[in-house]
Amino acid sequence: MTALAEIVNLPAEAIPPRAPGLLLFLGDVMEAGYAKTAFGLRDWAAERCVGEWALPGGRVSAGLLPLMPREAVARGAGALVIGVANVGGVIPFSWVPALLEALAAGLDIVSGLHVKLRDVPDLAEAADRLGRRLIDVRTPPADIPIASGVRRTGRRILTVGTDCALGKKYAALALAQGLQDRNVDAEFRGTGQTGIMISGDGIPIDAVVVDFIAGAAEMLSPAAAAAHVDVIEGQGSLFHPAYAAVSLGLLHGSQPDLFIVCHDPGRNEILGYPGFPLPSIEAVIAQTVALGRLTSPTIRCAGVSLNTGALDADEAETVMAETEARLALPTADPMRRGPRFERLLDACLAS
């Protein structure tokens, strides 16, 4: 459903004449939550990431080798990936000179922002003149149908969240991988720019006209064999003041049999929205069940995924144990794996 696979998700020999490496562009971002694309590629496509490039004033690092574009090309980079997912998905004017420098150095540019690279005249002119590619991942297919609401065969698991940028993609990727390791016929279904970059396929749900969001979700996870499991990457939050509509359309179209609630125990407010408190996990479960029953009458919560990256091992175990005891649901941090994650997988396979 996207051409990004020709850059990110195919082996080097499959994408001549471009080099396979990626330089992650962090711009001048100040908040780590807005650099989730860079972090996602670092964690799930590490073998392709040769380094990072941040502009003066930027305060976020993905922990990769700092490189200028020409240095990255010398180390095997063929594309610069904009690793930022900012509010509104815009390309600030302050980034344009840097992006032009990347093109001049020999890099294609891959973007997951709402603003299209070719809508920036200087970038379009330079790319055409230099023979570089401008690849916009947030481009949905043109043939999305209106949702039917008809129940489909196969099983579907959706990750939902108390907020944006707290682990829905990571949880879905880890669950799909964990199920595959158990020889389950499972597939990750990407719905955001980073998930699409990692998997090489998917539909950018938040770029779909709202009337077609549920239809896009039906298209993304079609009818399948009874034993097949689609693990669908969630978007936004049903409690988000700006993005709840996307979350609801994805929920209705996905028709999940099960959902996993994703939560950051260190976050108290909606990211970027001071004064909007984070909802409780219990509230998210109740809201998801109430709204999800429209298209999936037997929908239920299978467990909880916590983002404990800011905690040490003992602190993480304490918060996971407390959450599991309070909710009576398996609780794990999928990135830590271990017995807790295995119990979460068990719950995803329970009938």
- Intrachain domains 3-136 and 155-349 with the same fold: yes
Q: What is the mean pLDDT of residues 86-108?
A: 94
pTM of the model: 0.90
pLDDT of 259 reads: 98
Domain layout of the chain by residue ranges: 3-136, 155-349
For the segment 193-232, what is each residue's pLDDT rounded down to a tens digit?
999 999 989 999 999 999 999 999 999 999 999 999 999 9
First to last CA, the chain: 31
For the segment 295-304, what is each residue's pLDDT rounded down to a tens digit?
999 999 999 9
For the segment 17-41, what is each residue's pLDDT rounded down to a tens digit?
467 899 999 999 988 888 999 999 9
- Spatial separation of the C-alpha atoms in residues 153 and 162, rounded to whole Å: 28
Which H or E element spans position 281? Answer: helix 281-292
Phi first, then psi, for residue 121 (nearest 5°) are -55, -40
Closest CA to 62 of 29, 88, 92: 29
Q: Which CATH class is domain 3-136?
A: alpha beta
- Res. 16 pLDDT band, cuts 50 70 90: very low
Residue 13 clears pLDDT 60, i.e. is over it: no
For the chain, the average pLDDT equals 93
CATH architecture of 155-349: 3-Layer(aba) Sandwich (3.40)
Residue 88 clears pLDDT 90, i.e. is over it: no
Residue 15 clears pLDDT 70, i.e. is over it: no
- For the record, the structure tokens of 184 come out as 């389950």
pLDDT of 86 reads: 84
pLDDT of 1 reads: 39
Question: DSSP string spanning 198-235?
Answer: HHS----GGGS-GGGHHHHHHHHS----TT-EEEEPP-
pLDDT of 11 reads: 33
For the segment 114-165, what is each residue's pLDDT rounded down to a tens digit?
999 999 999 999 999 999 999 999 999 999 999 999 999 999 999 999 999 9
Residue 131 φ/ψ region, left for φ over 0, alpha for ψ in the -120 to 50 degree band, beta for the rest: left
For the segment 264-273, what is each residue's pLDDT rounded down to a tens digit?
999 999 998 9
pLDDT of 31 reads: 86
- Spatial separation of the C-alpha atoms in residues 139 and 117, rounded to whole Å: 11
